[in-house]
Structure 1
Amino acid sequence: MLVLLVTVCLGLLTPSWVTATYCPPDNGMTDEVRAVFVYQHNHYRSLAARGQLKNKLGGYVPKAARMKKVSYDCEVEKNMMEYAKKCIVKHNPEADRNYWGQNLWATGARNMSKTHAAESAVAGWISEVWTHGFPKNYIFSEEAWRMAGHFSEVVWQESDKIGCAVVWCPGMTFVGCEYNPGGNWPGYAPYEIGDPCTTDADCQCKGCVCSRDEALCIPPGYVPLHTVPTTTTTTTTTKKPTTTTTTPTTTTTKPLYIGESPDIKSTASCPGLNNGMTDEVREMFLNRHNNYRSLIASGRAMNKLGGFAPKAARMMKMSYDCDVEANVVEWAGSCMFGYNSVAQKNRWGTNMHSLSFTPNKTKAAAEGVDAWFSELYKIGVPQDNVFTNDFFTRGTTEYSQLAWQTSNKIGCAVVSCWNAWTAVACEYNPGGLKLSHTIYDIGDPCTINEDCQCAGCVCSKNEALCVAP
């Protein structure tokens, strides 16, 4: 039972569902969203049962002899929703949820499509097995919990009822699912290992029916929310994939840009701060931002919606701000990601990312900025470059803030939170994301200082950036 905070967009095709009335429709959830949660859980449980999920520690997860098919429970949803509406990215006490299991996920993308959030959350939980791995003895332990505790709850054999919530919180979209009965019991395997059922008797549970096609055992009284779609593109790893497969990471087999990276190098130092940050980490954040801003400005950043992002006429080069860092380190260090009063007061922008493991801080900084920039390639931005409410639902706000022309000062943080996950955050002074404004002025990049149209600015022609005085 871990918290997974991410800003990743995963390529999943949402099926078309037949709308029905299942749970009380007064809490922001719809049957379409519920059906996505059920389908995603059963899809991955089916892959696990067949032994088709790759294990980072070697080979594939073992087959499941009698994996149960998940159904939806409105009482569980009610409990999950009551807690999710508090917008606290932290597990509540087990006694407050009837000792049901719980998985949490959040993204800095505000007002994300709830079906997309459901897809992304479950895919993020399951991805732990191929990004971090599950111990080869396949016994749940503290080590397994830290490596892949979300994954193990998703595939816990006896956790056959779920209830979930997607809530739009200040500054983030928050997702949670609870599992009845709860899993993740130390000393136990997530499921019984063996070949999947071929007859009802193989399920070894009274009234259960073997679904050979799914490799799942259907409990008695099972009420389906939807019909499983026949085609899907998912973020899974299979032995013999029949669909497009990817792994949930910021890297991709296609380039994010053309030509060589600008390799901009600037210095960043905050000698008055003793907060766990180092100049190496600061410079990684700063240079990564400026390299991507240079690529965008020169028209070499690939756009999912076609071609490349438009060139920037007067993209500002970023510098590092220690006052901004001091605030973001304090805010991110709480690992709560609630209201950021200082940033709001100063109208600073904020980008967030997380990793469900604890890497080197310099590497974490690089992965965070890469994830924000990758939204341009994975989702895309309209060629008119105008920021609208659609950016929040599509999940391209982090890219937009990274590329916001006038946001020329940053301060960043990498902090270790509970359950071995790492929070990565940057604040931007001044902030961007102003509705109906362009992310940056479109046009050929500067060649002389006057092109920058700001007092005292100097054109760095080689970088395609304007340097503030």
Structure 2
Amino acid sequence: MFSALRFLLVCPDRDNTDEMRELYLKYHNDARSRLAKGKERDLNRQLGPAKNIYKLSWSCELEKIAKELAQGCGYDFTRHRSYGQNRETFFGSYGVSTFDVKKHIKQALDKWWGKVKNSYVNQDNKYDPSLFEFSNMAHYKNTELGCAHVICPDPSFSKLQVLCVYKRLGYMGGSIMWRNGKYCRVGSDCTIFPNSRCENGLCVRPKEQPDSGASQICGSNGVMTDAVRNAFLDMHNFYRSVVATGRAVDKIDRQAPKAAAMPKLKYSCELEQSATNHAGFCQFSHSQGNNVGENLYTVYTPGFDKRVIAEMATEGWFEELEDYGVGRANILTQQLFNRPGQIGHYTQVNDFV
């Protein structure tokens, strides 16, 4: 098993073995699969079943970040804040600087995932500080992780730190860790990322290629790359297809009606320039005198990958349908637009234009 993994995982950290990587990865995905299938509990109730929980893949880049963050065996969370981070530190016996690393990795994973068994998950499955580490492990939109360990020698008590880094933050205030529903059986059940397939109740996202920084679609403006442009465009068109094929969930009527002849969006460099000009003011308000639809999204944590931001923004806009609903009539009335649970962003993602 591990010889095949060595071929796939060409990561530079020689302290990490492929056996350790497999331990991290299998533990996470087995636990996520149990959650998806409704086989996990908190102190009060059975959790799930859950839809759209994604299978994690290993990231050498995140492993590299984990190794960097673990140096010194400290607890500084101010670096790489756009990634989820779980840390556990173990202390050796007096004068001993050797550790059973695999045993401690398993202990760390058990402790992090086990947090849910001693806590209460909100009915809407939103993050709570008591579930800090668990939230990263369980967050349904997480698709990649990388973990590492560092031994910090000390004349008295040496330390071992185990650290995992996740592509998405599980512990963002108010964020949903997962959404209840039927776990996937086929790829079309997976409605977060385009071209997903299903494996053992988990959705599997195709592997992303690194952003090369190329900017040929609209030329270089120092902000956008073609990879970011395509992330916005692909996510919008995918969600439009989810609606068109009758797979979108509406809070009011449970299932949004199918859409006939919904056109596919094309990328406009002119609209990008308009968006870039207004975004430069860093104000969460719409521009004046600009006769175009605008969706706004802001994050306050620095260092996010711009493709991840493109995905998070589009996801948030589209999820207004499931969170607030439109109804069978599918008509944006003034009353619907002005109610407390607004769906204005969703209507622009799926406007028939």
Question: Normalising by the residue count of structure 1, what TM-score does the alignment of the two structures yield?
Answer: 0.40
Measure the CA separation in 1 of the matches of 2:35 and 2:173. Answer: 20
Shift in Å, 1:190: 0.3
The aligned amino acid for 1:192 is R
Shift in Å, 1:102: 0.4
Give the paired residue count: 198
Change (3 A) 1:17 1:117: farther
Measure the CA separation in 2 of the matches of 1:172 and 1:134. Answer: 32
C-alpha contact (below 8 Å) 2:13/2:64 kept by paired residues: no
Give the alignment partner of residue 140 of structure 2, picking from 140, 152, 157: 157
Give the alignment partner of residue 33 of structure 2, picking from 38, 46, 63: 46
Q: How is 1:80-99 mapped onto 2 (pairs within 5 angstroms)?
A: 80-88=66-74, 90-93=75-78, 96-97=79-80, 99=82
C-alpha contact (below 8 Å) 2:143/2:167 kept by paired residues: yes
Shift in Å, 1:72: 0.6
Post-superposition CA distance 1:247-271 (Å, at most 9, x none): xxxxxxxxxxxxxxxxxxxxxxxxx
The aligned amino acid for 1:215 is G
Alignment partner of 1:73 is 2:59: yes
Measure the CA separation in 2 of the matches of 1:163 and 1:129. Answer: 22
Shift in Å, 1:26: 4.1
Shift in Å, 1:182: 2.2
Measure the CA separation in 2 of the matches of 1:40 and 1:79. Answer: 20
Shift in Å, 1:188: 2.2
Alignment partner of 1:172 is 2:159: yes
C-alpha contact (below 8 Å) 1:45/1:155 kept by paired residues: yes
Change (3 A) 1:111 1:132: farther
C-alpha contact (below 8 Å) 1:80/1:165 kept by paired residues: yes
Change (3 A) 1:20 1:185: same
Change (3 A) 1:184 1:98: closer
Shift in Å, 1:173: 1.6
**More helix per residue:** 2
Give the alignment partner of residue 99 of structure 2, picking from 108, 112, 119: 112
Q: Equivalent residue for 2:17?
A: 30
Shift in Å, 1:67: 0.3
Change (3 A) 1:26 1:66: closer
Q: How is 1:269-288 mapped onto 2 (pairs within 5 angstroms)?
A: none
SS in 1 for 2:148: strand
C-alpha contact (below 8 Å) 1:71/1:222 kept by paired residues: no
SS in 2 for 1:148: helix
Shift in Å, 1:98: 5.5
Measure the CA separation in 1 of the matches of 2:195 and 2:50. Answer: 19
The aligned amino acid for 1:151 is F
Measure the CA separation in 2 of the matches of 1:203 and 1:84. Answer: 35
Measure the CA separation in 2 of the matches of 1:186 and 1:98. Answer: 14
Q: Equivalent residue for 1:406?
A: none
The aligned amino acid for 1:53 is E
Shift in Å, 1:85: 1.7
Q: Equivalent residue for 2:187?
A: 200
Change (3 A) 1:51 1:85: same
Root mean square deviation, CA, Å: 2.0
Shift in Å, 1:27: 4.3
Measure the CA separation in 2 of the matches of 1:158 and 1:54. Answer: 20
Q: Equivalent residue for 2:2?
A: 17
Post-superposition CA distance 1:386-443 (Å, at most 9, x none): xxxxxxxxxxxxxxxxxxxxxxxxxxxxxxxxxxxxxxxxxxxxxxxxxxxxxxxxxx
Q: Equivalent residue for 1:132?
A: 119
Shift in Å, 1:118: 2.1
C-alpha contact (below 8 Å) 1:77/1:178 kept by paired residues: yes
The aligned amino acid for 1:68 is Y
Q: Rg larger in 1 or in 2?
A: 1
Give the alignment partner of residue 197 of structure 2, picking from 187, 209, 215: 209
C-alpha contact (below 8 Å) 1:111/1:172 kept by paired residues: no
SS in 2 for 1:37: helix
Q: How is 1:275-314 mapped onto 2 (pairs within 5 angstroms)?
A: none
Gaps of at least 5 residues in structure 2 are 210-353
Shift in Å, 1:25: 3.9
SS in 1 for 2:2: coil
Measure the CA separation in 1 of the matches of 2:116 and 2:208. Answer: 28
C-alpha contact (below 8 Å) 1:117/1:166 kept by paired residues: no
Alignment partner of 1:123 is 2:106: no
SS in 2 for 1:127: helix
Measure the CA separation in 2 of the matches of 1:53 and 1:222. Answer: 30
Gaps of at least 5 residues in structure 1 are 1-15, 224-469
SS in 1 for 2:40: coil
Measure the CA separation in 1 of the matches of 2:125 and 2:169. Answer: 18
